Amino acid sequence: MIGIMLAILFVATAMPASSDVRSANSGVSFGLSPAETELLGMIDYENAWEQLQYLSSLGEKTAGSEEEKRAQRYVLGELENMSLDEVLEETFRVANWKHYGTTVKMTSHGDEDIPATTYGDCPSVWGLDEFGMEYYHGTDETGKVLTAEIVDVGYGTAADFEAADPLDGAIALVHRDDNTQGWPNVPVLEAALNGASAAMFYGYFTGADHPEAIKQDSVFSPIPAISISPNSAARIQELIAVDGAVTVEIEGRVDFDPNAESVNVAGILRGTTHPDEYIVISGHIDTWWNGSNDDCSSIAVMLEMARLFSEAKEAGIYENKRSLVFCSVGAEETGGPDGTWFNWLVGSYEFVSAHQNDIMNGLVMELNLDGGSFSKVGEGGKVWFEISWEVSSFVRNAIVDLGYMDVGYYVPTWTWTDAWSFAAKGGGTAIQMVWGPGFDPYYHTQFDTIELQSEDMLAMVADFTTLMAVRAESSIVVPLDFIPACDWAEGHLTTEAHLVPIRAAEIDGALEALSALRTLVLEVNEYAAELEAMYAAATNDAERAAVVELADELNRAIIDMRRIFTPYTLGEGGMMASWEPMLRSHQHATDFEAVNTAIQTLVGKGGQVGGAIKALERVRSMEWGMYCSAEVFDEVLAQMVDCYLYWGDDFDQAQDYVDVQDVYLGLLDGSMPRDDAFARLTDIRDNELELWFLADIETLRREWTNAAVPLEAVLS
């Protein structure tokens, strides 16, 4: 999913980077001030690499586990040994999944071993459930050993299961493909519905199927969901083709604890003149497997940043005007309690929620680190930043001034890293550094180890983090420009005017509010430039202090405006819920157009059922719903729509999903008359999608008007 989404974005929104190249420690720089050059020269790349080596050696650190806590205690100790003003340790509740190991052997073929693991958030053959009661999926007298024949069900679609032999307790072998299934929970529910005793997955998606990789992820399942490599799957398929059957024996235990605790750790270096304004440098401590790139690399860089800035300040070489926060969050990969659908980014969400009135209230910028050391980057393609719109120029200047080749960026921040929590949920500005090409086949697998990491890549991330932190904390006016954000929103709304033409008047109202806000942003940008020029021209401390006082008022207004604009502008939806950031109204607009097109193709005697079917396939819930049974679709859609905690309730950002699968399947097999389909779709369009869209448009108009208030006040 991540690889495909990024590939699309790279083509559509990539920005050109500098044509020059700088290697770590080369001493070459472009456009850096003497102070910036001096501080960059103090980065201890070797220390960052040693931190990465140590953190990688700690093994898998799942949310709420003792291993995660042990790693956080190490981070806490490192921060406490530095000259920081404050160190925080904050616990929060998570659901923990404790895996004791999984073994698979082919008993039909000489007890040949198949390397495997059990997917996260899934039962194994036996263990303790969330109520502390023992559960058993085994077939022997103890219930702790599962022995069954394997049946290959292709991609695990409803059609694949229908074409396969009856399972009757067999194990379903499934080729995982997130582009088809959305997420492995869909085919595993299909497997359970069809009588499978377990599901055995291999692969990820086309282009990211490392032949020996054993994938790990958080997958909700009522039956054991085992992960093996594509090569192991090919071996099983070969034996089935030759001998007709393969029987395996699976042993494994998983315990669930819905009341476990994870930990966030942070150190603060207070600013000398603006202690209530913050730059956050963060990464996540939890990992699947060893997680050297994802995400030990980020904690290693974060710790080096804390050492660098605190020691430089203590030595009198450097003085930070704004406060710097060095943060290691837990439970990024999984951990949402009570079975909430959105069970990732838990630690960063908890941090943002806990600090709404201090750090988030004065947040200037969050520099989020996630996957910053992978060595395959040089094999082609760019390294990518994922950013909030308003730092486009800020990031572009850093890329050019450091002189790194093949570094680009795209907007906005997506829902798969902690940057989303700080931006969309906290109303802040975030820069996600960095995601390199070629990592997807190794992502969340046993191959994400220290051997595949690059010291040069880690050094590059440290360079960017240092430069951006210094520039963000020392700028007179916060380096944020919301013109790109306004243009992004305008582009979406203009498109939606064509998708929902019957609501053009309401769209025009939202566009008017956006245009008024954009005009204010232009005036703010001009005022900011004037203040910067005045500060540069000031000849004494009194004149500089007067400019700073004016800049402080402007900065407060910009931050207040952003905390309204960002969370109410962004929506989340798309494939399997909250993979994709979009304008708040966009999913309802595209679904309206798809359903309306289906309706139009059914009109009159010449109505085209085939055209309606094709149109319905564009509805966002049908991206995966077209491949599964009605029973599984209803169960998964209910989980997605009835979400709570974390993401679902905040700002009402989670897009509603419309249910057209019954019409789709009815038209496909001829069981639903065309007139009935027409009536059902008309009801969905008029009484669901149009109303949802109107509510979204009104929210945009209202909140864009509200966002203008702080800017109007400071400009007056």
Q: What percent of the chain has pLDDT over 90?
A: 84
pLDDT in tens, 522-565: 999 999 999 999 999 999 999 999 999 999 999 999 999 999 99
Q: Of 13 and 615, which is predicted with more confidence? A: 615
pLDDT value at residue 6: 35
User: What is the average pLDDT value for the chain, to the nearest integer?
Assistant: 92
Q: Is the pLDDT of residue 299 over 70?
A: yes
Kindly report the pTM of this predicted structure. 0.94
For residues 10 and 70, which has the higher predicted lDDT (pLDDT)?
Answer: 70
Decide if 381 contacts 295 (C-beta within 8 A). Answer: no
Q: Which two tokens stand for residue 213?
A: 């990789």
Q: CA triplet 527, 533, 536: central angle to 5 degrees? A: 145
For residue 582, the surrounding DSSP H or E stretch is strand 580-583
Residue type, 530: E
Q: What percent of the chain has pLDDT over 70?
A: 93
Residue 645 reports pLDDT greater than 70:
no
> Cα dist. 375→352, 383, 403, 420 in Å?
32, 11, 19, 25
The residue with greater pLDDT, 18 or 604, is: 604
pLDDT band at 68 (very low <50, low <70, confident <90, very high): very high
Q: Is the confidence at residue 4, as pLDDT, over 70?
A: no
Is 376 within 8 Å of 2 (Cβ atoms)?
no
Mean pLDDT for 507-533 is: 98
pLDDT of residue 379: 63
pLDDT, greater one: 320 or 376: 320
Q: Tell me which of 381 and 185 has the higher pLDDT.
A: 185
435/457 Cα distance (integer angstroms): 11
pLDDT value at 380 more than 50? yes
Question: What mean pLDDT comes out for the span 652-675?
Answer: 93
For residue 632, which phi and psi values (nearest 5 degrees)?
A: -70, -40
Instruction: Identify the burial level of 635 via C-beta atoms within 10 angstroms of its C-beta, where 0-12 means exposed, 13-18 middle and 19 or more buried.
Output: middle
pLDDT at 344: 92
pLDDT at 18: 30
Residue 19 has pLDDT above 60, yes or no: no
CA separation for the pair 568, 425 (Å, rounded): 10
CA 624 distance to own-chain centroid: 19
- Average of per-residue pLDDT across 155-173: 95
Given a cut of 80, is residue 482 above it in pLDDT? Answer: yes
| Reported confidence tier of residue 238, pLDDT bands at 50, 70, 90 | very high
Distance CA(52)–CA(72), nearest Å, equals 14
Residue with tokens 């010291």: 455
Predicted pLDDT of residue 641: 80
What pLDDT is stored for residue 436 in this prediction? Answer: 75
Q: Which of 5-9, 147-151, 686-690 has the weakest average pLDDT?
A: 5-9
CA proximity to 582, closest of 564, 569, 563:
569
Q: What is the mean pLDDT of residues 431-448?
A: 89
Residue 581 near residue 412, CB atoms below 8 Å: yes
Is the pLDDT assigned to residue 259 strictly greater than 70?
yes
* Cis ω for the linkage preceding 295 (within 30 of 0): yes
Nearest to 92 by CA among 72, 107, 118: 72
What confidence tens digit (pLDDT) does each residue in 106-139 have? 999 999 999 999 999 999 999 999 999 999 999 9
Q: Residue 46 — very low, low, confident or very high, per pLDDT cuts 50/70/90?
A: very high
The whole-number average pLDDT for the span 583-602 is: 96
> What's the mean pLDDT in 134-163?
97
Mapped onto helix, strand or coil, the DSSP state of residue 332 is: coil
Quote the pLDDT of residue 10: 31
pLDDT for the residue 15:
32
Confidence (pLDDT) at 165: 82
Name the pLDDT band for 2 (thresholds 50, 70, 90). very low
Q: For residue 7, give the nearest of 460, 484, 382 by alpha carbon.
A: 382
| Band of residue 422 on the pLDDT scale cut at 50, 70, 90 | very high
Instruction: Domain 2-85+270-474: give its CATH code.
Output: 3.40.630.10
Burial 400-418 (b: 16+ CB within 10 A, else e): bbbbbebbbbbbbbbbbbb
- In this prediction, residue 605 has a pLDDT band, given cuts at 50, 70 and 90, of low
pLDDT band of residue 644 (cuts 50, 70, 90) is low
Q: What is the mean pLDDT of residues 509-524?
A: 98
Which one, of 431, 476, 72, 424, lies nearest residue 267 by Cα?
A: 72
Assign 198 a pLDDT band (cuts: 50, 70, 90).
very high
In tens, the pLDDT along 265-290 reads: 999 999 999 999 999 999 999 999 99
Residue where the block lists tokens 């459930």 = 129
391 — pLDDT class (breaks 50, 70, 90): very high
Q: Please, which pLDDT band fits residue 214 given cuts at 50, 70 and 90? A: very high
Q: Rounded to an integer, what distance in angstroms lies between the CA atom of residue 481 and that of residue 651? A: 23
| Widest CA span in the chain | 89
CA dist., res. 394 & res. 383, Å (int): 17
Domain ranges in the chain are 2-85+270-474, 98-254, 479-716
How would residue 715 be classed by pLDDT, with cut points 50, 70 and 90?
Answer: very high
Query: Given a cut of 80, is residue 9 above it in pLDDT?
Result: no
Cα separation, 357 vs 294, in Å, equals 30
| pLDDT greater than 90 at residue 378 | no
* pLDDT score of 342: 80
Q: For 503, how many CA atoms within 13 A lie in the half-sphere containing its CB?
A: 27
Residue 166 pLDDT grade (very low, low, confident, very high; cuts 50, 70, 90): confident
Q: Give the separation between CA 624 and CA 184, rounded to whole angstroms.
A: 11
- What pLDDT is stored for residue 640 in this prediction? 84
Task: Show the tokens assigned to 105.
Answer: 């052997």
Instruction: Identify the pLDDT of residue 646.
Output: 54
> Can you name the CATH fold of 98-254?
Glucose Oxidase; domain 1 (3.50.30)
